Amino acid sequence: MSAIEILGLEKTYSIGFWRKRPKRALRPLHLTVEQGEIFGFLGPNGAGKTTTLKMLMGLVFPSGGSARILGMDMNDPRVKAQIGFLPEHPYFYDYLTARELLEYYGQLSGMPRKECRSKVEAVLRQVGLPDVSGLQLRKFSKGMLQRVGIAQAILHDPKVVFLDEPMSGLDPMGRREVRDLIQQLKNEGKTIFFSTHILSDAEALCDRVAIINLGELRGVGKVAELTANMHGKVELIWRGAAVPASIRALDAEAYVSGGTCRAVIKEEQQDRAIDALRRDGLPLVSLTPVRATLEDYFMQQLKPAEAPVEVTA
């Protein structure tokens, strides 16, 4: 049984006041996330990531398709007891203390009061907020609120955790801690589905990623598999005071620094570049293959359809 099966989920909004016209936020999406995976849902702002998550949480109703979580229909009330959700830019009842907020959420999740109290303390320790549990949330910084958000998502020991931009608003230390926390959740056997546009986080954490842009799925798979088929690049380093015109003509990214030149060119251009350096009598220092990154793949996926995806009535 998969943790999440998205079966053609789609969403079209009506926009305009008098003359309503359809605006497609998500084209039919098919996606499967296996149990125990850390799955990254990547895309630029406005790609449809949050819409997808909101549909899975029952906050927005899909225009078509369905989804199954842990083998149950996403609208099945039993599902909600087994999932945790951190919304993007979470905002909580700021008149409550962190402890009161978590106890409230714990009780809404059906946790017995006594168990809830002890779990609250443990989870606050886990997210690094043990000393401020009695402080009202209105006095919390953005990063602290994000941690409270993660705490409420994992409080009731869910099997699947959905995190919408979990690193948003965190400083580098905080991001590192959240990454460690996500890894820890995976080690506990949980499935983590998180959306982000910070690719380095996804690359460091995810077993698999999906890339979405303008409401359309552009690619899905393991990071290594996705980047393996990309045309490779090579880094060329030679001694010289300037980049010769013959290298510039290769559309290379070239830099000069203290008598050493560096250029990144396409793999198929390497012979032409070496010939050019020989002709100009410039000594080659090194030629190193550059591994394609998730960012390279991501940028490539965003290129083909830059025009807005609209549908006609």
Q: Under the rule (CB under 8 A), what is the footprint of another protein?
A: 13, 54, 57-61, 77-78, 80-81, 83-85, 87, 89-93, 95-96, 100, 104-105, 107-110, 149, 152, 156, 162
Question: Least Å distance between CB 107 and another protein?
Answer: 5
Nearer to another protein, 192 or 252 (CB): 192
Q: Which residues contact 125 (CB under 8 A, 6 or more apart)?
A: none
Nearer to another protein, 53 or 294 (CB): 53
Nearer to another protein, 63 or 246 (CB): 63
Nearer to another protein, 162 or 298 (CB): 162
Question: Least Å distance between CB 139 and another protein?
Answer: 14
* C-alpha span between 39 and 220 (Å, rounded): 10
Question: Least Å distance between CB 159 and another protein?
Answer: 14
* C-alpha span between 28 and 149 (Å, rounded): 30
Question: Least Å distance between CB 152 and another protein?
Answer: 6
* C-alpha span between 97 and 108 (Å, rounded): 17
- No. of helices (H) and no. of strands (E), the chain: 11, 14
Question: Least Å distance between CB 108 and another protein?
Answer: 5
Nearer to another protein, 109 or 301 (CB): 109
* C-alpha span between 30 and 5 (Å, rounded): 8
* C-alpha span between 302 and 51 (Å, rounded): 19
Kind of pairing, strands 284-290 and 233-239? antiparallel
Q: Which residues contact 249 (CB under 8 A, 6 or more apart)?
A: none
Nearer to another protein, 65 or 104 (CB): 104
Question: Least Å distance between CB 93 and another protein?
Answer: 6
